Amino acid sequence: MTDTKSHLLLVEDEVALREATAERLEEQGYLVAQAGSGEEALERLSDFAFDVVITDLRLPGIDGTAVIETTLERYPDIVGVVVTGYGTVKDAVEAIKRGASDFITKPFQFDHLLHILTSALEQRRLRSENAYLRSQLEERYRFEGIVGRSPPMQRLFALLETVAGTSSTILVTGETGTGKELVARAIHHNSPRRAHRFVALNCGAIPDTLLEAELFGHVRGAFTGAVSTRVGRLERANGGTLLLDEVGAMTPSLQAKLLRTLQEREFERVGDSRPIAVDVRVIAATNSNLGQMIETGQFREDLYYRLNVIPIHLPPLRERREDIPLLVQTFLLSLTLRMDPTRGDVVFSQEAMRAMMAFEWPGNVRQLENVVERALALTPGRPQIDVDDLPDEIRMRRSPPANVALDLPDEGLDLALYLKHIERELIRRSLERTQGNKQKAAQLLNVKRTTLIEKVKRLAL
């Protein structure tokens, strides 16, 4: 049974076939109107916006092709299915070229027709969701490339707008892949310093012996290999913003020199005693727990407080799962443009999206982007990415079990009734997820279709 009943117009001149098909469609939850000719169909369509039109190609008077063409001119989003009974699909294919969603040949199995309708309505729902997500991406659910509609992200956007205009030092914390550098760039590009450079330095990617020279620069002869004077990242960022990523990787001696620079707003190049004044905003970022590092003596407490003037914490993706559809849409748009600009709109099926939202995402947003890119690369030319196109660790992930209390009360419980309640809830959810398709629901529950039907009757679902 569909979650929201769809209005369907059935156009067929064979009365017995039309009425029998209409009756079975109504049993599946569709609201069915009937028409015995193309003229009657167009008259009905002029008065009501149906969700679906099913029409025979061979009709007295106006044929089914004309019905489909006129229908799509009036309602571009309608699902149109054509029926042909002449053993050839030539006309049906022509109708699809003109906008029909699919075709079916007579005599047809009702389950096949139902499958076509379910798939076509699913595609329409995905297209609609795709357009909706695009409009959201263009409006309020993004901040300089950062995407999110969840409450934590909305609070983050508000905070970023507030702090961007200041010159205060910021400490950005969060797990790997949450977008710390993206946040730092967003702050810079919305600050009065945006006309100057944004310079990033990953402290964890450079050996300790070279990190000081990379940050502060050096003069000729300062150490072996220093054949000329070199300007450091700090000096290059003068007037702008310096991001110190993985700041916890700094040695204690370098931490002390950085603290002095932040306090005095001047520094000395390696091998030189001449101070150089600098005006730079420092944004530090880390995925380490600096509080624990302070306790173990690995990080200076005074530097921590100097960096942590404005703390910004980025939540992991598993704590904002409702942002996953928006993020997926963002990556689909950008990656499709980069990988194959001629490829049309691509969507993730609902089952694939559910699997992605059930995954824990240890690599956070960066991992999600990689998964989307992989799916696009492995499905060239296809308009839809299905659950089978996802990596095994996501595809095999099962959604959390139903929200049922597991505490054993002091007074005990009726185990049979309790298990019956769990069974009923799981069957209900499987039918909702598959829109009433008992075959697919049985596959989700790993039982036979006949077994599922018996259970539905027994449980009075």
Average pLDDT, the chain: 85
| 262, burial (CB in 10 Å: exposed 0-12, middle 13-18, buried 19+) | middle
What interhelical angle do 110-138 and 350-358 show, nearest 10?
60
| Weakest mean pLDDT among 42-56, 92-106, 185-199, 367-381 | 92-106
At residue 137 the predicted structure's pLDDT band, cuts being 50, 70 and 90, is: very low
- Tell me, what's the pLDDT at 56? 87
Q: Which residue has the higher pLDDT, 90 or 32?
A: 32
Domain assignment of residue 403, yes or no: no
DSSP string, 374-401: HHHHHSTT-SEE-GGGS-HHHHTPPPPP
Q: Give yes or no for residue 399 having a pLDDT over 50.
A: no
Residues 292 and 229 in one domain: yes
Domain assignment of residue 410, yes or no: no
Mean pLDDT throughout 350-358?
Answer: 84
For residue 425, the domain's CATH number is: 1.10.10
User: ∠ CA 115-116-119 to the nearest 5 degrees?
Assistant: 85
Residues 158 and 304 in one domain: yes
Which structural domain range is residue 239 located in? Answer: 144-315
Highest-pLDDT range among 3-7, 123-127, 274-278: 274-278
Residues 173 and 62 in one domain: no
Q: Give yes or no for residue 397 having a pLDDT over 70.
A: no
Q: Which residue has the higher pLDDT, 421 or 306?
A: 306
For residue 39, the domain's CATH number is: 3.40.50.2300
Domain assignment of residue 409, yes or no: no
Q: Give yes or no for residue 86 having a pLDDT over 70.
A: no
Residues 294 and 190 in one domain: yes
What the block records as the tokens of 198 is 């944004």
Residues 200 and 296 in one domain: yes
Residues 310 and 323 in one domain: no
Name the amino acid, one letter, at 271: G
Domain assignment of residue 349, yes or no: yes
Closest to 382 (Cα-Cα) out of 418, 412, 352: 352
- Tell me, what's the pLDDT at 398? 46
Q: Chain centroid to CA 205: how far?
A: 30
Highest-pLDDT range among 65-69, 184-188, 448-452: 184-188
User: What domain count does the chain have?
Assistant: 4
For 38, 50, 450, 456, the CA distances from 47, given in Å and listed in that order, are 15, 9, 42, 39
- Tell me, what's the pLDDT at 122? 78
Domain assignment of residue 402, yes or no: no
Residues 83 and 198 in one domain: no
- Which of the 8 DSSP states describes residue 344? -
At residue 375 the predicted structure's pLDDT band, cuts being 50, 70 and 90, is: very high
Domain assignment of residue 407, yes or no: no
For residue 343, the domain's CATH number is: 1.10.8.60
Residues 53 and 116 in one domain: yes
| Weakest mean pLDDT among 186-195, 307-316, 441-450 | 441-450
At residue 311 the predicted structure's pLDDT band, cuts being 50, 70 and 90, is: very high
Cα(241)–Cα(296) distance, rounded to whole angstroms? Answer: 30
Closest to 367 (Cα-Cα) out of 144, 137, 178, 181: 178
Size of the chain in residues: 461
At residue 284 the predicted structure's pLDDT band, cuts being 50, 70 and 90, is: very high
At residue 107 the predicted structure's pLDDT band, cuts being 50, 70 and 90, is: confident
Domain assignment of residue 106, yes or no: yes
Residues 107 and 30 in one domain: yes
Residues 156 and 91 in one domain: no
* Domain closes at, from 315, 344, 373: 315
Domain assignment of residue 277, yes or no: yes
> Given the DSSP bridges, would you call strands 146-147 and 142-143 parallel, antiparallel or unpaired?
antiparallel
| Weakest mean pLDDT among 157-161, 182-186, 264-268, 451-455 | 451-455
CB atoms within 10 A of CB 142: 18
Residue 328 contacts residue 353 (beta carbons within 8 Å): yes
For residue 265, the domain's CATH number is: 3.40.50.300
End-to-end CA separation in angstroms for the chain = 12
Residues 165 and 294 in one domain: yes
- Tell me, what's the pLDDT at 82? 85
322-334 per-residue burial string, b: 16 or more CB within 10 A, e: under 16: ebbbbbbbbbbbe
Residues 209 and 103 in one domain: no
The pLDDT tens digits for 195-206 are 999 999 999 999
- Tell me, what's the pLDDT at 261? 95
Mean pLDDT throughout 313-329?
Answer: 89
